Amino acid sequence: MQYPPWTSVSKAAKLLKAGEVVAIPTETVYGLAGNAFDPQALAKIFAAKERPTFDPLIVHICDISQLADIAKDIPEAAYKLARTYWPGPMTMILPKKDCIPDLCTSGLPSVAVRFPSHPVARQIIQEAGVPLAAPSANLFKHVSPTTAEHVASQLADRIAGIVDGGPCSVGVESSIISLVGEPTVLRPGAITPEMFADILGDVKVKESTSKPGQAMQAPGQCDTHYRPQVPLYFGKVPEGYVLPKKTARIAFGTQEGPIPATVNLSKTGDLTEATAKIYAFMHDLDTPDYELILVDPIPNTGVGMALNDRLKRASIKQLPV
C-alpha cells in the first residue's frame, strides 16, 4: 500500500463496509472512522490511535431518524436539540441500545451520538450504510487534526485510508451534552452552554476531573489530552521572566506580548476564526525549531470557552526555570 493512503468517498465507504478504519473529514476535526456495530473495527481504531479502551467513542449518523437505532429512552429534549443543532458540532449522550458493542462505550450504559454537518462525512456515513464510530484521528494525547495532512503525519501507515475534505471549519471537537439525568455539558465546543440553555432552559456545566483507569464519564479528562510535544504555555507571562531564545508566540487580537507575534489567531479578536486556527498553529509550531510556545490570554466567553478548555489542557502549569 502507498502512504499516505489517500482515498475517495466511495472507496472509503467500501473499506468501512469491509471492517477497515478510515480517516474522514468533519466540520470539527478529522475522525478515525469504523463500523460502530463491528467490535473488530472498533478494536482497530483503539489500536491505531494507541488509545486506552476506557475512553469511549462517538457514533456518527447521517439522519436524525438513526438516533433511535442506537439510543433508547430518548427524551423529547434530545429531539429538540437535534432539530436545532444537527447536523452540526453537537454530541449527545443517551442510554445505549444493545446493538452498540461495549467496546464502543467502554462498558458504559450510555452512547455518544453526533450527526456531523460536513458534506463529505455525511456522504461517507450514508454510503457505508452503518453508523460510524469515530474519535479524533490523532495518536492518543496528541493534538487533534484539522487537515488531512495532520492525519497523515500521525497515522499514515496505520490505517486503510484518508479522505481529504479540506481544513475543518470549526476547528475544535464537538460540544458534548449528557441527557442521561439532568442535561449537563461535558465538553465545551461551538454549541455554547447559552445555546443549550436557549432550547432546554437551565443546563449544568461539568468541571472535568481525572480519574485514571476508569471509564471516562466526561471527556478529555486526561489533563495532557491535547498537549503538543514542545511545551506550550497559556496565559500571562510573569514580569521579568526570561523567555528561551526559541520561543514562538500565538497572539490573539491586538494585545501586547513579551515578544512579537509569530502568528495571530485573529487580528480582529474573532473567537470563531481563532478556534478554526488553533490546532493548525499547534501542529505547525510543534517542531524542534522551538523550545516554548506562548499563547495570549483569550476571553472565556462563547466559543472562547472551548478554546480556553483545550488550551488549559495543552498548557504546562508553570514556565520552565
Which residues of the shown chain bind ligand TXA in the complex (CB under 6 A)?
Answer: 26, 28-29, 31, 55-58, 91, 93, 105, 108, 110-112, 114, 116, 134-136, 173-174, 176, 186, 216-217, 219-220
Which stretch in 54-62, 68-76, 128-136, 153-161 sits in contact with Mg ion by CB under 5 A? 128-136
Cα dihedral angle (96, 120, 198, 92), rounded to 10 degrees? 10
Q: Is 210 helix (H, G, I), strand (E, B) or coil?
A: coil
Our CB check for ligand TXA shows the closer of 75 and 253 to be 75
For the four alpha carbons of 221, 55, 277 and 305, in that order, the dihedral sign comes to negative
Which partner, ligand TXA, Mg ion, none, binds residue 123 by CB below 5 to 8 Å per kind?
A: none
Q: In the complex with ligand TXA, which residue's Cβ is closer, 279 or 290? A: 279
Backbone angles phi, psi at 128, to 5 degrees: -70, -30
> Which residue number places its CB atom closest to Mg ion?
136
Verify binding: residue 221, Mg ion, rule CB under 5 A.
Answer: no
List helix spans (H) across 92-221.
102-105, 119-128, 148-155, 193-200
CA 196, CA 67: separation in Å to the nearest integer? Answer: 19
The nearest distance, CB 219 to Mg ion, in angstroms, is 8
Residue 28 lies near Mg ion (rule: CB under 5 A): no
Determine, following the binding rule CB under 5 A, whether residue 208 of this chain makes contact with Mg ion: no
Cβ distance to ligand TXA smaller for residue 217 or 275: 217
Closest separation in Å from C-beta 51 to Mg ion: 8
Among 28, 105, 110, 136, the residue binding Mg ion under the rule CB under 5 A is 136
Residue 232 one-letter amino acid:
L
Work out how close the CB of 136 gets to Mg ion at its nearest, in angstroms, rounded to a whole number. Answer: 3
**Could you give the angle at the alpha carbon of 146 between the alpha carbons of 26 and 204, nearest 5°?**
70
* Partner from Mg ion, ligand TXA, none contacting 26, C-beta within 5 to 8 A by type: ligand TXA
* Contact window for Mg ion (CB under 5 A) among 42-50, 61-69, 132-140, 179-187: 132-140
Residue type present at position 84: T
Q: Are 95 and 73 in contact (CB under 8 A)?
A: yes
In sequence order, the 6+-apart residues with CB closer than 8 A to the CB of 318 are none
Nearer Cβ to ligand TXA (71/250): 71
Minimum distance from CB of 105 to ligand TXA (Å)? 5
| Cβ distance to ligand TXA smaller for residue 98 or 239 | 98
Residue 90 has phi, psi (to 5 degrees) of -130, 130
Q: Closest CB to ligand TXA among 95 and 269?
A: 95
Q: Using alpha carbons only, what angle is made at residue 139 by residues 99 and 23, rounded to the nearest 5 degrees? A: 60
DSSP H or E stretch at residue 283: helix 271-285
Residue type at 273?
E
Residues at the interface with Mg ion (CB under 5 A): 136
